[in-house]
Amino acid sequence: MAGFHIVVCGGMVPDPLQSLEPVVGPDGPALKNEAMLPMVLDPWAAHSLYEAAHLAAHAPGSKVWLVSLGPKARLQQLMMSIAQKVSFELVALDGAAGGFSDAYEIARALAEAIEGIPDLDRTRLLLFGGCASAARDAGVTMSMVAERLGLTEQFLGVDMLETDGDRLRIKERVEGGRYRISECDAPPAMLAWATGTLPIPPNNPQLGMQNMRSIMPALARAKSIPLGSGDVAFGAVERPVQRRETRVVKDMPPEDIAREIVAWMREG
Amino acid sequence: MERVLLLAHVESSGEIGKTTREAAQGAAEIARGLGAELVVGLIGARAETQAGTLGVDAAAFLAVSGDEFDEARYASDAAASTALVKASEATVVIAGATSRLSRALPGVAQRVDGRITTHVTGAEVDGGQLSIERWYYRQRMKATLTSPRRPWFVIFAPGIYGPAPASDEAVTCRAIGVPAAGPWRTRVIGEDAGSSEGQTIRPDATLLFVAGAGWTKKQGDGASHVPEAAELIRGFLDRSQASLGSSKSLVDQSSEGGDVIPFMTHLNQVGQTGATPRHPKGLSTCCHGEEPHVVGWRFVTERRAVNLDANCGWARGKADVVYVADAFEVMKRVNELLG
Ligand SMILES: Cc1cc2nc3c(=O)[nH]c(=O)nc-3n(C[C@H](O)[C@H](O)[C@H](O)COP(=O)(O)OP(=O)(O)OC[C@H]3O[C@@H](n4cnc5c(N)ncnc54)[C@H](O)[C@@H]3O)c2cc1C
């Protein structure tokens, strides 16, 4: 069996522990102090990268690419940590990484970058990414990239992939906390992942050094991508005040708390 | 002049689902606001027999029917949806965020060179212009926006509109053919519950019950009590029929090899990298209420928490009531009261 050619699309998003505030920028809405916020690899895309590396390790002849769009200097920072996790070859695109940019334009840039990967065998392609970003949170980009690449087998919210030769068995999240199980005869296919089943790999500095040797030239080659809000016209963008007047109940016996909770459950 | 298409599918049960009925109501209101014609496009094994049950007053009903369109497969759903969008000549395409259409429509928008906006939580028509509301950065900020691009696909999150009332009116459906249908490379094998103990996620439940990592931590006696925690949670779910949510720390324990609550999976996770369920009430237990968790509570209206720590995140304006208490003690008594 020839291995899989796994291309992972993963952008960067602000660390989820940061507080975010919208501002109006010259090209539409943006985040206050965006350039200063610590960034992480988009969490669901990160899971798909770990799944890709795991699959590649078990399917001889496989290879993993990570296609990432973001401001070049910040991508370099991010790669310092991601490169220590798993083995991959980077395809970098230099452009704004915000959630208010147009998914359609991003999909075009990602698809063109994938088309430009020299030794990619598109008949062996498994296109991976997150089921939604933590920024735009739309769940549309991967499907649009896949359409541009002519992939008709697509899966969204994937938590499990098993392979038997070329055959793919996939579990996708559906309504009511259930899984849909599908079988696809062979690559090419697109899988937009949810959490998957793997823990976050520990840092391996040696692997990091090895990866960085190809990552630095990839960053130097990064094509610049102009991005904006596309055809979308934004009205207000606001962070609604969420603060509640919390009643903190101390020293109430558990029996009384239980009674209050049950009464509250039965209200309304 | 706008033309609105409600794009929908029949569920595998043979009926129209709630999310679709809600979108039908939304589509009807938007079409009325825009002074536009409403067209219904339905996909399913015998879609034409279900179109009338949607209960919307449409200028035309279109159907893609056939056993192959019963299966929830991207390739056939995208082909059918593309055919319906083209046949309807719609400028605005409205759908409910079912798992099938959430997966199919981004690609369809790409095929017809349209634009798509998902996770839509509100819509307004003002002066003949449709604008919608959605959240960015995982429910951290809310934006209103519009797009001049047509066709514009607008996918509504569940729970935004009341469902259109079911009807038993017979309607005339125009059958739409799908060019180059099949052979399909993907086969749907079936579904499974995701959890060893059946359904713990109940989207229609009044109460969301969230369990945090505290349930598995060492307690006052210096030991952890995971089996007892599992028993209390299971007992509460059986009695209350609440939907079960979890913090990330608790569900991560299974992939990290820790002591686990057996029926908890990543599907239960609420928050930044989990679900954002919609429930009138939520009760959090043994969960600290950190921001990446609480962003998943955006659509939970009334919130209470039980935590040993009076300074937990919930106490800082994120819940209405925080009981500073031992959740083992409290939930034992809650279960007794529920009988
Ligand atoms: C990229 C990223 C994404 C993330 N996404 C998510 C997400 O989607 N969802 C999510 O939940 N988190 C997410 N997090 C993690 C989040 O920051 C917190 O670490 C996590 O929510 C903590 O879980 P917890 O409150 O259950 O556990 P802990 O922080 O360990 O809190 C346990 C709590 O239990 C209480 N407790 C212990 N025993 C008892 C008892 N007997 N009775 C009552 N209370 C008791 C303690 O006082 C404590 O408050 C994410 C983090 C990152 C970096």
SS (H, E, C) chain A: CCCCEEEEECCEEECCCCCCCEEEECCEEEECCHHHCCEEECHHHHHHHHHHHHHHHHCCCCEEEEEEEECHHHHHHHHHHHCCCCCCEEEEEECCCCCCCCHHHHHHHHHHHHHCCCCCCHHHEEEEEECCCCCCCCCCHHHHHHHHCCCCCEEEEEEEEEEECCEEEEEEEEHHHEEEEEEECCCCEEEEECCCCCCCCCCCHHHHHHHHHHHHHHHHHCEECCCCCCCCEEEEEECCCCCCCCEEECCCCHHHHHHHHHHHHHCC
Question: Encoding tokens for residue B82?
Answer: 């593309």
3 state SS of B320: coil
The answer to whether domain B3-175 and domain B196-338 are alike in fold is: yes
Q: Where are the domains of chain A?
A: 5-224
The DSSP element (H or E) to which B23 belongs, if any, is helix B18-34
Q: Which of B228, B253, B288, B334 has the most ligand 1 atoms within 8 A of CB, as the residue to mutate?
A: B288
CATH number of B3-175: 3.40.50.620
Share of chain B above pLDDT 70, in %: 98
* One CATH from 3.40.50.300, 3.40.50.880, 3.40.50.1220, 2.10.70.10 for B196-338: 3.40.50.1220
Range 145-204 of A in CB contact (< 8 A) with B: 146-148, 152-157, 159, 169, 171-186, 194-195, 197-199
State the nearest Cα–Cα gap between A187 and chain B, in angstroms: 10
Q: What is the pLDDT of residues B286-310, one digit of tens each?
A: 999 999 999 999 999 999 999 999 9
Q: Cα of B288 to ligand 1 centre, how many Å?
A: 5
Strand partners, A125: A5
Residue of minimum CA distance from atom 43 in ligand 1 = B307
Report residues whose beta carbon is within 6 angstroms of any ligand 1 atom. Answer: A 16, 40, 43; B 212-214, 217, 219, 247-250, 269-274, 286-288, 290, 292-293, 296, 306-309, 312, 326-328
Note the pLDDT of residue B255.
Answer: 64
Instruction: Look up residue B154 and give its amino acid.
Output: V
Quote the ipTM score: 0.95
Name the amino acid, one letter, at B283.
L
Query: In this complex, do A177 and B186 lie within 8 Å of one another by their Cβ atoms?
Result: no
CA pair distance B175, B154, nearest whole angstrom: 24
| B212 C-alpha to ligand 1 centroid (Å) | 6
Ligand 1 center from residue B216 Cα (angstroms): 11
Domain coordinates of chain B in residue numbers?
Answer: 3-175, 196-338
In sequence order, the β-bridge partners of residue B116 are B153
Fold that domain A5-224 belongs to in CATH: Rossmann fold (3.40.50)
Residues B203-261: tens digit of each pLDDT: 999 999 999 999 999 999 999 999 999 999 999 999 999 999 999 999 988 766 667 88
Which residues contact residue B195 at a Cβ distance below 8 angstroms, ignoring those fewer than 6 apart? A177, B263, B264, B265, B267, B268
**What is the rounded distance in angstroms from the CA atom of residue B323 to the CA atom of residue A247?**
8
Closest ligand 1 atom to Cα of A40 = 1
In the 8-state DSSP scheme, what is residue B256?
T
pLDDT of residue A268: 83
Looking at the complex, report in whole angstroms how far the Cα of residue A217 sits from the nearest Cα belonging to chain B: 31
**If you average pLDDT over residues B2-6, what whole number do you get?**
98
- Of A76-90, B177-191, B324-338, the least confident: B177-191
- Which of chain A's residues have a Cβ under 8 Å away from the Cβ of B136? 22, 99-100, 135-137, 237
d(CA A77, CA A67): 15
Whether the model clears a pTM of 0.90, i.e. scores above it, the answer is yes
Cβ atoms of B36 and B92 within 8 Å: the answer is yes
Residue B163 is encoded by which pair of tokens?
A: 């469902």
pLDDT, tens digit only, all 268 positions of chain A: 689 999 999 999 999 888 899 999 888 899 999 989 999 999 999 999 999 999 999 999 999 999 999 999 999 999 999 999 999 999 999 998 789 998 999 999 999 999 999 999 999 999 999 999 999 999 999 999 999 999 999 999 999 999 999 999 999 999 988 999 999 999 999 999 999 999 999 999 999 999 999 999 999 999 999 887 778 999 999 998 768 999 999 999 999 999 999 999 999 8
Residue B204: CB atoms within 10 A of its CB come to: 12
